[in-house]
Amino acid sequence: MPQYDTCGASGLNPEHLRFACRYNNKFIDFLVKGLNQLHVAKTIMPQHNLFKGRLMTIEQKKVNAAGQMKYRQIVVSEILLNMYHKILKMKLCNDFTLHPNQLAMKPCGLLLGKHNVAEAIRCGLVATTFDVQAAFPSVGHNEIVNTMNLNGISNVEQRYVMNQLRGSWANEFKSTQIGTKIGDSLSIILFCTRIGMQGHK
């Protein structure tokens, strides 16, 4: 695809994604399987270098028994999230015969679900929450910004993270989504959903 030679943090920009979704169903299957593997393989997550450009880590104050600094993930590339939600929505519509009008994406692009999405989860899909405030109770906003700068995180992703930390989308978090109660405006829903469970049996 020489006409689309600019890649984002995930290695794919929106033009790549549109091309792949339109002309290559095998790519979608490959991406689904890859995301599934990243979410379930316990041996992959500690290798932060595999996520360079996709995953930003920030040091915690604690050191483990081996004398190594412990890390936590704080943000996944916005491009990957957008790709993930497009595929998840497509899979839900196809695998559970849902009409697109039965699915809802919040303006922040991270919340999916109402109406029959709960039924999809009962059929085997899994969702988890990631709470920025709970994950970093002792880390100040300035320290997070400095770490993002040191890791070369783009301005778009920095705004995304800081908006969450500041609760800029507070009005979008006043309901229950896919059976998960949102306790405060700082909770981010990341769908670590095994979306290949139904489609790849």
Is 9 inside any structural domain? no
Please tell me the predicted confidence (pLDDT) of residue 149.
72
Is 97 inside any structural domain? yes
User: Over the chain, what is the mean pLDDT?
Assistant: 47
pLDDT grade for 122, boundaries at 50, 70 and 90 = low
Sign of the Cα pseudo-torsion (36, 130, 101, 80, in order): negative
Residue ranges making up the domain that contains 178: 14-199
Span 17-65, pLDDT tens digits: 455 556 556 655 665 565 555 545 544 444 433 333 333 344 444 566 6
What predicted TM-score, i.e. pTM, was given to this entire model?
0.25
Is 178 inside any structural domain? yes
Alpha-carbon distance 187 to 32, whole Å?
25
Enumerate residues 6+ apart whose C-beta is below 8 A from 80.
Answer: 9, 10, 54
**Total domains, the chain:** 1
Is 6 inside any structural domain? no
Alpha-carbon distance 109 to 99, whole Å?
19
